[in-house]
């Protein structure tokens, strides 16, 4: 493809993209496709010769959009959003065109220094004190793995990176059952193991019980284990649960343990000053992760890990062979040394575009609207016959259950969810809470409106009434 053809197709794809976004409300949120449909439409063997772009693009239109779940659909109320504000999309197009590998300052000076500034912009936006630094990771899973590696090495006095864990007392990590499964996987990958991830009981508000935490740490020390760190949940994936941050950090400080706050979804809400009570004490922790790509509008992937003292994570993860040196610039920041992957994308550019295009106040307004509309939807569903709110609103997330008289409520709720998602007008997902099957409803898609939210409520009521 020469640059003339590249120009033609760039314009064509830009037009298609605008038409796609404009038509999302007319599409089903989740595709009406069966497993195997897409692979059956793809040739078994690759082509030996080049094919014209017109044919490639025609096949894309025929095969792909109709078989995609549309995450930017304004009636996507499942999981948490993976938002992509239009300004962020434009920045991503520019980053893709430059196609830089931003592992070192010398390979990407603008990307490195913009990342430093964007981290500080976001530090100010969520109200953390001066002095905190950070790095843009691909996802919260990577940030949590980095934090758990730091917990491990700190507890072992950095022997693990040299000699491994053999012969060492097992490091122990503490978290509540409301914490995301990425914490479990990080313990697997870090060599700590599932059995050394201690799940602490929660209080009535579903936040970690500090007294139970103290008892677990004491019991582990008595048994010869090595307490290493605590993962604190703010806005858990299942029901939006929040641990009492200040109380847990107080325990950690007395025990000499490293603390990492997982605020992957809810951290975006901290741009609203009135919502920061949910992580009161966050400035006392060692590490915090939140995903601007979830609720703030930055296109996936864009996860910020804030660090009070980066030195401990750098000591745990930095590996600098001769070929990665930057001669003459020993003091430059190389963000690949802050993370597990060496290769890095130019993620800061989309944050720069996003924050400037909407302003912090514009982003706050969206989050406040989503929370208000979620409360309205919660009240409307509570008023429907046969429905019960199981967990009330945490930020913009609540859960409910369908309990028609004389029926098994788990089965009825599951069947209703299947009908909702097959209908196509909206998309919800499920979880289990205290042994009960419930439906999650979270509002957060960047361009959704109150009408979209209430349409989802109408669909729920309509399909339940048809049973």
In this predicted structure, the answer to whether residue 323 has a pLDDT above a threshold of 70 is no
Q: State the pLDDT at residue 324.
A: 55
Place 321 in a pLDDT band, splitting at 50, 70 and 90: low
Q: Which residues, at least 6 apart from 346, have a Cβ–Cβ distance to it below 8 Å?
A: 95, 98, 100, 102, 108, 111
Distance CA 40, CA 428 (A): 28
Q: State the pLDDT at residue 189.
A: 87
For the purposes of burial, counting CB atoms within 10 Å of the CB of 26, is it exposed (0-12), middle (13-18) or buried (19 or more)? exposed
Q: State the pLDDT at residue 329.
A: 46
Segment 381-395, tens digit of pLDDT: 999 999 999 999 999
pLDDT above 90 as % of the chain: 75
How many other C-beta atoms can be found within 10 angstroms of the C-beta atom of residue 129?
10
In this predicted structure, the answer to whether residue 431 has a pLDDT above a threshold of 60 is yes
The torsion angles phi and psi of 251, rounded to 5 degrees, stand at -60, -45
In this predicted structure, the answer to whether residue 328 has a pLDDT above a threshold of 80 is no
Average pLDDT over residues 90-103: 87
Segment 24-46, tens digit of pLDDT: 999 999 998 889 999 999 999 99
Q: Of 205, 261, 253, which Cα lies nearest the Cα of 233?
A: 261
Distance CA 426, CA 453 (A): 9
How many other C-beta atoms can be found within 10 angstroms of the C-beta atom of residue 359?
11
Segment 280-317, tens digit of pLDDT: 999 999 999 999 999 999 999 999 999 999 999 988 88
SS3 assignment, position 176 = strand
Q: State the pLDDT at residue 100.
A: 86
Distance CA 279, CA 449 (A): 27
Segment 335-345, tens digit of pLDDT: 888 888 888 88
Tokens 């930095």 belong to 318
Report the range of poorest mean pLDDT among 27-31, 99-103, 329-333: 329-333
Average pLDDT over residues 11-32: 92
Distance CA 260, CA 134 (A): 13
In this predicted structure, the answer to whether residue 260 has a pLDDT above a threshold of 50 is yes
Q: Are 409 and 387 in contact (CB under 8 A)?
A: no
Average pLDDT over residues 15-31: 93
Q: State the pLDDT at residue 346.
A: 85
Q: Are 329 and 105 in contact (CB under 8 A)?
A: yes
Distance CA 294, CA 27 (A): 22
Place 363 in a pLDDT band, splitting at 50, 70 and 90: very high
Largest Cα span, the chain: 77
The terminus-to-terminus CA distance of the chain in angstroms comes to: 55
SS3 assignment, position 60 = helix
SS3 assignment, position 283 = helix
The strand pairing partners of 40, in sequence order, are: none
Place 105 in a pLDDT band, splitting at 50, 70 and 90: confident
Domains of the chain: 1-30+69-85+358-467 (3.90.1150.170), 101-345 (3.40.640.10)
Place 262 in a pLDDT band, splitting at 50, 70 and 90: very high
Q: State the pLDDT at residue 177.
A: 84
In this predicted structure, the answer to whether residue 332 has a pLDDT above a threshold of 90 is no
Tokens 């590996």 belong to 319
Identify the residue with better confidence: 285 or 111. 285
In this predicted structure, the answer to whether residue 421 has a pLDDT above a threshold of 50 is yes
Q: Of 174, 291, 306, which Cα lies nearest the Cα of 228?
A: 174
């Amino acid at each position: 493809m020469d640059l003339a053809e590249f120009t033609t197709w760039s314009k064509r794809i830009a037009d298609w993209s605008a038409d796609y976004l404009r038509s999302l409300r007319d599409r089903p949120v989740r595709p009406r496709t069966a497993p195997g449909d897409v692979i059956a439409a793809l040739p078994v063997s690759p082509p030996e010769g080049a094919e014209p772009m017109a044919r490639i693009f025609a096949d894309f239109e025929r095969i792909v959009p109709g078989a995609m779940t549309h995450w930017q659909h304004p009636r996507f109320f499942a999981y948490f959003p993976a938002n992509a504000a239009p300004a962020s999309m434009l920045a991503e197009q520019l980053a893709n065109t430059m196609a830089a590998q931003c592992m070192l300052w010398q390979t990407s000076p603008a990307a490195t220094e913009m990342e430093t500034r964007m981290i500080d912009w976001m530090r100010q936006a969520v109200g953390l004190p001066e002095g905190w630094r950070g790095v843009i990771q691909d996802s919260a899973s990577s940030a949590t793995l980095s934090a758990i590696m730091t917990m491990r090495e700190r507890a072992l006095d950095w022997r693990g990176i040299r000699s491994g864990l053999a012969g060492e007392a097992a490091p122990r990590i503490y978290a509540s059952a409301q914490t995301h499964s990425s914490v479990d996987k990080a313990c697997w990958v870090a060599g700590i193991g599932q059995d050394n991830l201690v799940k602490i009981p929660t209080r009535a508000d579903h936040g970690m019980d500090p007294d139970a935490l103290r008892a677990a740490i004491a019991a582990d020390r008595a048994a010869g284990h090595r307490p290493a760190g605590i993962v604190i949940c703010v806005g858990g994936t299942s029901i939006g649960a929040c641990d009492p941050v200040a109380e847990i950090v107080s325990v950690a400080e007395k025990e000499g343990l490293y603390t990492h706050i997982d605020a992957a979804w809810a951290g975006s809400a901290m741009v609203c000053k009135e919502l920061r009570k949910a992580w009161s004490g966050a400035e006392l922790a060692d590490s915090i992760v939140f995903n601007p790509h979830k609720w703030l509008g930055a296109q996936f992937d864009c996860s910020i890990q804030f660090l009070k003292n980066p030195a401990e994570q750098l000591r745990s993860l930095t590996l600098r062979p001769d070929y990665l040196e930057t001669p003459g610039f020993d003091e430059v920041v190389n963000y690949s040394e802050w993370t597990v992957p060496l290769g890095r994308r130019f993620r800061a550019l989309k944050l720069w575009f996003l924050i400037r295009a909407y302003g912090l106040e514009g982003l706050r307004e969206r989050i406040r609207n989503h929370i208000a509309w979620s409360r309205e939807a919660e009240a409307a569903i509570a008023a429907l016959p046969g429905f019960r709110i199981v967990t009330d609103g945490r930020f913009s997330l609540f859960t409910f259950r369908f309990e028609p008289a004389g029926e098994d409520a788990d089965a009825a709720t599951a069947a209703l969810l299947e009908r909702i998602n097959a209908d196509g007008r909206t998309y919800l997902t499920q979880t289990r809470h205290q042994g009960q099957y419930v439906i999650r409803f979270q509002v957060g898609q960047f361009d959704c409106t109150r009408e979209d939210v209430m349409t989802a409520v109408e669909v729920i009521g309509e399909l339940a009434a048809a049973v």
